[in-house]
Amino acid sequence: MNTEGVHSGFCQKFLLLEVQYHVRKCETKIISTVNMCLQSLQAEKGLDINMTREKKVLLEIKNLKKYFPIKQNLLKAVDDVSFSLYENETLGLVGESGCGKTTLGRTVMKLYEPTEGKIIFNGTDIAGLKNKQLAPYRKDMHMIFQDPYASLNPRMNVSEIIMEAMENDRDIPKAARRDRVLELLKMVGLNSDHANRFPHEFSGGQRQRVGIARSLAANPKFIVCDEPISALDVSIQAQVVNLLKELQEELNLTYLFIAHDLSMVQYISDRVGVMYLGKLVELTTSEELYEKPLHPYTTALISTIPFPDPEIEEKKERILLEGEIPSPINPPSGCAFRTRCRKVTEKCAMECPSLQEVQPGHYVACHQYGTAK
């Protein structure tokens, strides 16, 4: 294996993400300074300048559960998860393998029937809706999968794959649908020559672009991106993430972005949720989570992100998580993280902490920051 190539690819990606992160922080500071100036102008001169746009909730998840029956037991893959997603927002979702990220994404999309809870999409609870009633909402919600090769039908060409996703536009003439395919291909950085090719004729990054074009075919409002870049070469991961960001701005999309790569999640997300053993244990803005994580599990996860400055990197405390993630069939009593937590107390074995707002907009499920309900 060419480790030098992999190493330099990783460094390039890391440097790029670091630059992008600082640009984003500067942008945020400039916007908040401009807003402050405008607000003081508004107060002083009585000008009607409304820069604080009301955020609209697109999706509200309430006490969502997805349990899988396994022999005589129940595997609690998603266990009492609640959060809201605002229009045009990206909510990142992180956590170790098996913590329930994909199951949560699939349950929200109604690809799995929820065991309990509400999925309020654009004001309607779709949790209990069946096929016909669900159809009008299905076109507004799509999913981009981790493995673009496995998720594309190898016997269809790109044009057929994308047209199949326009199932609600069957009454539109075929020529117009064909034009739409070409428009979508252009949007994701492919061209008309690609329309007649089959999935095996593309590189991994191009295949994921086809997957993105397919997910946009029905003009969705909301997309679950389930590890859309982890199967891609590091050199093209940033390209695909930037494409998703551009499309979000252009088409006013809302994303639930599932990923392992914490630095990538930080870059793309407005807010980030951390999952552990089927539960959401922390939720706050991307900046706050990475600069001031509160939950002991998040603190450990963040401490493993390499820092580009070697001096800071050398001094930084790295918290190693010991032990395996327990089985979701038989989770520990009380706080599920207690078997690996450095701050565990007696109370942690007896009471399960609920997710509480401990600072404005910062939610944590830990007894260190409040009492369980």
Ligand X SMILES: Nc1ncnc2c1ncn2[C@@H]1O[C@H](COP(=O)(O)OP(=O)(O)OP(=O)(O)O)[C@@H](O)[C@H]1O
Residues lying near ligand X in the complex (CB under 6 A) are found at: 68, 75, 77, 95, 97-103, 328
Running DSSP on this structure, what letter comes out for residue 192? G
Q: Contact at 8 Å (CB) between 94 and 282?
A: no
Question: What one-character-per-residue DSSP string does 116-156 give?
Answer: EEEEEETTEE-TT--HHHHHHHHTTEEEE-S-HHHHS-TTS
> Of 316 and 343, which CB lies nearer to ligand SF4 in the complex structure?
343
Q: Which does 344 bind (CB under 5 to 8 A by kind): ligand X, Mg ion, ligand SF4, none?
A: ligand SF4
Q: Which of 119, 338, 355, 362 forms a contact with ligand SF4 (CB under 6 A)? A: 338
Chain centroid to Cα 36, Å, comes to 30
Q: Does 367 bind ligand SF4 (CB under 6 A)?
A: yes
> Of 150 and 350, which CB lies nearer to ligand X in the complex structure?
150
Residues forming beta bridges with residue 226, ordered by sequence position: 258
The structure tokens 């536009």 sit at: 169
Question: What one-character-per-residue DSSP string does 215-236 give?
Answer: HHTT--SEEEEESTTTTS-HHH
User: Which candidate, 81, 207, 211, 193, places its Cα nearest to that of 144?
Assistant: 211
In the complex, residue closest to Mg ion by CB: 102
> Of 95 and 220, which CB lies nearer to ligand X in the complex structure?
95
Shortest distance (Å) from residue 145 CB to ligand X: 11
Q: Which does 98 bind (CB under 5 to 8 A by kind): ligand X, Mg ion, ligand SF4, none?
A: ligand X
Size of the site for ligand SF4 (CB under 6 A): 14
Q: Does 148 bind ligand SF4 (CB under 6 A)?
A: no
> Of 141 and 300, which CB lies nearer to ligand SF4 in the complex structure?
300
Residue 160 main-chain phi, psi, to 5 deg:
-65, -40
Tokens of 32: 């908040």
Question: What one-character-per-residue DSSP string does 242-307 give?
Answer: HHHHHHHHHHT-EEEEE-S-HHHHHHH-SEEEEEETTEEEEEEEHHHHHHS--SHHHHHHHHTSPP
Shortest distance (Å) from residue 362 CB to ligand SF4: 15
CA–CA separation, 89 vs 285, rounded Å? Answer: 11
Shortest distance (Å) from residue 292 CB to ligand X: 25
The residues in 292-311 that bind ligand SF4, with binding defined as CB under 6 A, are: 295-296
> Of 143 and 247, which CB lies nearer to Mg ion in the complex structure?
143
Question: Which residues contact Mg ion by CB under 5 A?
Answer: 102
Q: Does 348 bind ligand SF4 (CB under 6 A)?
A: yes
Sign of CA dihedral 304, 66, 56, 213: positive
Shortest distance (Å) from residue 320 CB to ligand SF4: 16
Q: Which of 344, 356, 358, 370 forms a contact with ligand SF4 (CB under 6 A)? A: 344
Q: Which of 24, 218, 368, 370 forms a contact with ligand SF4 (CB under 6 A)? A: 368
Which residues are CB-contacts of 357 (< 8 A; sequence separation ≥ 6)?
Answer: 363
Q: Which does 64 bind (CB under 5 to 8 A by kind): Mg ion, ligand SF4, ligand X, none?
A: none
Q: Does 316 bind ligand SF4 (CB under 6 A)?
A: no
Which residues are CB-contacts of 368 (< 8 A; sequence separation ≥ 6)?
Answer: 294, 296, 343
Q: Which does 66 bind (CB under 5 to 8 A by kind): ligand X, ligand SF4, Mg ion, none?
A: none
> Of 102 and 254, which CB lies nearer to Mg ion in the complex structure?
102
Sign of CA dihedral 154, 255, 305, 12: positive
Q: Contact at 8 Å (CB) between 337 and 296?
A: yes
Q: Does 335 bind ligand SF4 (CB under 6 A)?
A: yes
Q: Which stretch binds ligand SF4 (CB under 6 A): 79-87, 176-184, 310-318, 332-340?
A: 332-340
Q: Does 319 bind ligand SF4 (CB under 6 A)?
A: no
Q: Which stretch binds ligand SF4 (CB under 6 A): 123-131, 183-191, 240-248, 342-350?
A: 342-350
The residues in 195-214 that bind ligand SF4, with binding defined as CB under 6 A, are: none
Total count of residues recorded for the chain: 373
Query: Which residues are at the interface with ligand SF4 (CB under 6 A)?
Result: 295-296, 335, 337-338, 341, 343-345, 348, 353, 366-368
